[in-house]
Chains A and B, each alone.
Chain A
Amino acid sequence: MDELQTHLLDERAIRRQLSFNCRAVDRLDVDLWRSLWHPDSELDDEVRGVRGAALDLADRLTPDYASWAVHSHQVTSSAVEIDGDRAVSETYVTAILRGHQNDAGEAVDDHHRLTYLDHWSKRDGRWAIDRRRVTNGLSWHQVVTAGRVGRWTRRDREDPSYELFASLGGEDSAGFDTLMAEREIRGQLHNYCRAVDRFDVPLWRGVWHDDGTLDYGDVGERGRAADMAEHMTLDHYPWASHTHQSTSSIIAVRGDRAVSETYSTNILLARLSISDELIDSHYRGRYLDTWSKRNGRWAIDHRRAVSDLGWDQVCIGGSVGLRAHRDREDPSYKLFASLLATDLESA
Chain B
Amino acid sequence: MSVEVLAAESEIRLQLHKYCRAVNELDAELLISLWHADGTIDCEEPALRGAAADLTGELIDWHRSWPERFHQLTNWIIKVDGDSAVSETYTLDVLRPAPGRKGDELDSHRRGRYLDRWSKRDGRWALDHRQFVRNYEWRQQVFAGSVEVRAQAPHQETAVAR
Contacts and interface: CB of A to CB of B under 8 A. Distances in A.
Interface of A: 2, 4-5, 7-8, 11, 67, 69-70, 76-81, 90, 92, 94, 98-103, 107-108, 110, 113, 137-142, 147, 149-155, 176, 179-180, 183, 187, 190-191, 193-194, 197, 240-241, 243, 245-247, 265, 267, 269-270, 280, 313, 315-324, 330-332, 335-336, 338-344, 347
A140 B9 CA distance: 34
B159 A70 contact: yes
B80 to A, nearest CB: 6
Contacts of B4: 4
A7 to B, nearest CB: 8
Contacts of A151: 162
B36 interface: no
Interface of B: 1, 3-7, 9-10, 13-14, 16-18, 20-21, 24, 44-45, 68-70, 72-77, 79-82, 84-86, 88, 90, 92, 94, 96, 106-108, 111-113, 115, 117, 131, 133-140, 142-156, 158-160, 162
B80 A343 contact: yes
For B76, B108, B152, the residue with the greatest tally of chain A CB atoms inside 10 Å of its CB is B152
Contact of A319 (B92, B136, B154): B136
6 contacts: A69-B155, A176-B3, A190-B77, A317-B139, A318-B139, A324-B112
Q: Chain A binding site: helix, strand, loop or mixed by DSSP?
A: mixed
A243 B135 contact: yes
A245 B115 CA distance: 16
Contacts of A197: 135
Given A245-B74, A339-B85, A79 B21 contact: yes
A5 B6 CA distance: 9
A347 B20 contact: no
Contact of A90 (B17, B44, B96, B147): B17
Given A8-B6, A76-B92, A183-B6, A150 B17 contact: no
B155 A331 contact: no
B137 to A, nearest CB: 5
A161 to B, nearest CB: 15
Which 3 residue pairs across A and B have the least CB separation, nearest first? A321-B134, A317-B139, A113-B70
A27 to B, nearest CB: 13
A240 B136 contact: yes
Contact of B147 (A2, A110, A269): A110
A152 B96 CA distance: 35
A317 B110 CA distance: 11
A343 B136 contact: no
Contacts of A344: 79
A152 B136 CA distance: 31
A67 B14 CA distance: 37
B68 A138 contact: yes
A324 B137 CA distance: 13
Given A140-B145, A142-B140, A149-B162, A99 B153 contact: yes
B10 A102 contact: no
A213 to B, nearest CB: 23
A139 B148 CA distance: 13
A317 B7 contact: no
Contact of A321 (B72, B136, B162): B136
Given A77-B20, A190-B75, A316-B138, 8 more contacts: A4-B7, A98-B159, A151-B162, A154-B162, A336-B79, A339-B79, A340-B84, A344-B79
Contacts of B69: 138
A110 B152 contact: no
Given A69-B160, A142-B140, A76 B147 contact: no
